[in-house]
Structure 1
Amino acid sequence: MKYLSYSVLASALLMSGVSHATNTITFTGTITDATCEVALQDAKGTQISATGSGDITLNEVSKADLSAANSVAVPTRFSIVAKNCVLGTSGKSKISASFMSNNADNQGYLNNTAETGAASGVQLKLLDSAQKFIKVNDPAQADTATWIDIVTEDPATTVMPFYVEYYSAAGSATGGTITSKVTYELIYD
């Protein structure tokens, strides 16, 4: 019985030390009054979505075009269109987009998520308007973004062109379909 009492007392003393440890996390953020409506355009400049979400169809490519290591093929242009931007008192005058995806690898390429008839050995690569690689999920995207001046005069439409292309790191692409998704948010400077 004495052993049980000492065990209970020792446990209580140990637990009381643990429960008194106090730490603090402080979160800091910024709320901007700059906002824009968003639409999505295809390579021809045709609006495919008035909500900013939609499907971009890539042109077909031969697996022979992706047979060399680090090969790329058929960049397809698409545009995110910011309309009716309200800049408020933010002092912001430029806009870009930051891309995120659960489908991206640690290098920033988009993995194939097609469920049936999927091509292998191929990923998708996002490019900015200067056709520089955009590393998806990279927190430094705002530092490396290609910024576009926000158009505020009528018709108040700012077109941000981007590209997506096929990419094969090993050069071993097989035939099949490729699908991937990316989300984005507008960033202001």
Structure 2
Amino acid sequence: MTDWAALYRDHVTAVTALVSGLSDDDLAREVPGAPAWTVHDVLAHLAGGAADAVTGRTDGAPGPEWTARHVAERAVLPVAVLVEELETKAEAIGHSTVDNPRPAIVWDIAVHHADLHEALGLGRLPERYWRPVLETVVLMRKPVVPEGVDDYELFRGLFSRRSRAQLRSWGLDDDAVEGLGIFGPRDDDQPVPA
């Protein structure tokens, strides 16, 4: 069984190290996996989601109004403040994942960590960060995917980070394409790191 608490803390450590050294231009870079969000916005959402999970402020979760509130409330906060907010909530979030077979907050940080890697041209997120999430989601959803589909690409596709055209290129039929992504299908091709 996955130690979700440890995985969440590992993501927090990696994400905060990644964003702490970024330039203003990099922080303003658009994140293709999260349309209309910048790198700073993704960090704001991660910090806001953690704060809300700890305080129980989950009205509208996990919908777009809820995530937009995270970004709006933290739009002018510097990275150091967002990093501190994320880091100070990590232990409590970790405790909340014990015996949770569907720790959405861990899945969320895994997906957005990969979004950041792709947006910043850093290649694939290291496997240790996404593999446990993929394995759990596959067991739960049991997607029908042709042999030969790369596991990282499946992880990205399951979380609606690949377009209809990209999913069709795997050999999926239209029904499978429409049903694969947890957040529904998308039309904009996403960067595929080497």
Question: For this structure pair, what is the TM-score category when the shorter chain's length is used for normalisation?
Answer: under 0.3
Q: Which structure carries more relative contact order (alpha carbon 8 Å, separation 6+)?
A: 1
Relative to its length, the structure with more helix (as a share) is 2
TM-score computed with the length of structure 1 as normaliser: 0.26
Relative to its length, the structure with more strand (as a share) is 1
Higher CA-based Rg: 1
TM-score computed with the length of structure 2 as normaliser: 0.26
